[in-house]
Amino acid sequence: MTIYNFSAGPAVLPQEVLKKAQAEFLDYANSGMSVMELSHRSKEFDDIIKDAESLLRDLMAIPDNYKVIFLQGGGSLQFSMLPLNLAQGKKAYYVVAGSWGKKAYTEAVKLSKTIDFEPILLASSEETVYDHIPDFDASAIDPDAAYVHLTTNNTIEGTSVYDLPDTNGVPIVADMSSNILAVRYNVEDFGLIYAGAQKNIGPAGVTIVIVREDLLNDEPVLSSMLDYRIQAEAGSLYNTPPTFGIYMAKLVFEHVKALGGVDKMEEINREKSGLLYDYIEASDFYTSPVKNAKDRSVANIPFVTPSKELDAQFVKEADALGFKNIKGHRSVGGMRASLYNAFPRQGVLDLIDFMKKFEAENK
């Protein structure tokens, strides 16, 4: 049975990358050691982390005045590091279009009880269960604010921001965890981008931060580990980084480059997700909870049948046929097909075939 892994993260990785890592698992580049056994101060690992950075700079066209940092703790730790480093003594705005954006805002509020800054909820679509990307009036933004935070892709709700909003000149800071390298963004449109690796980049445990140099904190923050400037100036080697995860990220970057880069990935992803969206739209059995077609994510595609009972039955039958992890997030229910870069087109076709069959049997 072919297994298709629709997991929202940790997620499917390219088979070629896994095979390469497996082949050199015991002996990396004739070092006689596994990548995991390499000192993070060794020449071998130095090459790995420098290559990883250089490949990512190439793939995303990251300008020289941006630092690239490999950290730990996932997007969730960035929810606190971000205001700690960028917003002290300032306002910081949050556009909340999904559960993760809400968490980013909630953590900012928590932090603001100890650290002097003012998190402001600029817009939210929570009332309609995040079924769209909310609008806001740019003139309401204080131009001296530290940033406007948004989530480029809402993993749980299946919406994306493709056209960045007017923020009255205030830098946009984005959680790009679930569509980094999947669609093209212009890095220069952001003050800072962060992303957990476990969707489009590699295994869980690596976090990428891309930050414009002039936004780096001037003063040390409360912990060296949480200090962007210290981490950036140490070249992500302030302490022992997650070496194997960074190595896997490097392999994925090489793979994406060989496939044609981010523009090519976006083309593939739009076609791949388009197949599923078209089918859902044509069906009067399945529906998408996303209100506006323009907000649709190419990475995470939620859908529901006419009832919760049928949703549960769908998930059960799908699982038995090898369509794994297609259950929607517990907060929204239904189904969710996460079609990250490494997810094969054939899996979408096979899923649609199953959906047709399920519809015919249960309509």
Q: Applying CB under 8 A, what is the total number of residues that bind a copy of itself?
A: 67
Q: Does 223 bind a copy of itself (CB under 8 A)?
A: yes
Beta strand pairing call for 4-5 and 91-96: unpaired
φ, ψ of residue 221 in degrees (nearest 5): -95, -175
Of residues 6 and 66, the one with the C-beta less far from a copy of itself: 6
φ, ψ of residue 354 in degrees (nearest 5): -65, -40
Annotated binding-site residues for L-glutamate read 41
- In angstroms, the CA 152 to CA 216 distance is 22
Residue 135 known to be catalytic = no
Q: Does 235 bind a copy of itself (CB under 8 A)?
A: no
Annotated binding-site residues for pyridoxal 5'-phosphate read 75-76, 100, 155, 175, 198, 239-240
- Is-contact 157 289, C-beta < 8 A? yes
Compute the least distance from the CB of residue 259 to a copy of itself, in Å.
Answer: 19
Compute the least distance from the CB of residue 329 to a copy of itself, in Å.
Answer: 9
Closest CA to 152 of 295, 31, 253: 295
Of residues 30 and 139, the one with the C-beta less far from a copy of itself: 30
Q: What's 134's DSSP letter?
A: P
Of residues 34 and 168, the one with the C-beta less far from a copy of itself: 34
Q: Does 54 bind a copy of itself (CB under 8 A)?
A: no
Contacts of 114 (CB under 8 A, 6+ apart): none
Among 28, 38, 93, 209, binds a copy of itself (CB under 8 A): 38
Q: Does 302 bind a copy of itself (CB under 8 A)?
A: no
How many CB atoms lie under 10 A from the CB of residue 44? Answer: 16
Q: Does 243 bind a copy of itself (CB under 8 A)?
A: yes
Surface-to-core class of residue 346, CB atoms within 10 Å of its CB (0-12 exposed, 13-18 middle, 19+ buried):
exposed
**3-state SS of 154-181?**
ECCCCEECCCCCCCCCCCEEEECCCCCC
Compute the least distance from the CB of residue 362 to a copy of itself, in Å.
Answer: 26
* Residue of 67, 131, 199, 272 with catalytic role: 199
Residue 100 known to be catalytic = yes
Surface-to-core class of residue 285, CB atoms within 10 Å of its CB (0-12 exposed, 13-18 middle, 19+ buried):
middle
- In angstroms, the CA 238 to CA 108 distance is 25
Of residues 22 and 139, the one with the C-beta less far from a copy of itself: 22
Q: Does 234 bind a copy of itself (CB under 8 A)?
A: no
Active site residues: 100, 175, 199
The residues of the shown chain that bind a copy of itself, judged by CB under 8 A, are: 1-3, 5, 7-13, 15, 18-19, 21-22, 25-26, 31-34, 36-40, 42, 72-77, 79-80, 107, 110-111, 113-115, 196, 198, 202-206, 220, 222-226, 238-245, 248, 322, 324-325
